[in-house]
Amino acid sequence: MEYLGSYTHKIAISNHRIKSLESGNVRFMVKDYRQGGKKSVLALSDAEFIRRFSLHILPKGFTRIRHYGILSSYYKRTIIPELQKDLGRPELAEKVLLKHRKCSSCKKGNLVTIATFPARGPPNGWREQIEKHLNRPI
């Protein structure tokens, strides 16, 4: 169960919902919304369990979570427009001249860095900065 649980993390079924694996059957907890959210144990053959589980595996190139944190749909809808209105147009940063380099393929042309990007993810302390600006928790 622990082996399968590592693959089920936040995908189709969590590890704590799997109750037992015995004699070709998998028993796990389900919530029946037709019965008002009543929880019960469902038993499936191992082949049927794997078939249903594999329906939740995304095709190559798809990602489960596209936007989070400050880029989530909630922030795009509510907080970001409010900040843009309050802050107005930001001042442009000074242009930094960057070193020219030779092309690594042809060794003839010069490469010019026109932009650099920070590491992926929201900047450190973004939540505190927004809360401070709005004078309220988000």
- pLDDT tens-digit series, residues 87-130: 876 665 666 665 667 777 787 777 776 666 666 666 677 778 77
Summarize the confidence of residues 5-29 as an average pLDDT: 79
Which pair of tokens denotes residue 27?
A: 């028993």
> pLDDT at position 4, please?
46
Q: Of the given ranges (8-17, 73-82, 89-98, 123-132), which has the lowest mean pLDDT? A: 89-98
pTM above 0.85, yes or no: no
Q: Which 8-state DSSP code applies to residue 62?
A: -
d(CA 38, CA 35): 6
d(CA 138, CA 2): 37
Going by C-beta distance under 8 Å and a sequence separation of 6 or more, which residues neighbour residue 76? 67
Where is mean pLDDT largest: 33-47, 51-65, 70-84? 33-47
Compute φ and ψ for 38, nearest 5 degrees.
Answer: -65, 135
Summarize the confidence of residues 16-39 as an average pLDDT: 92
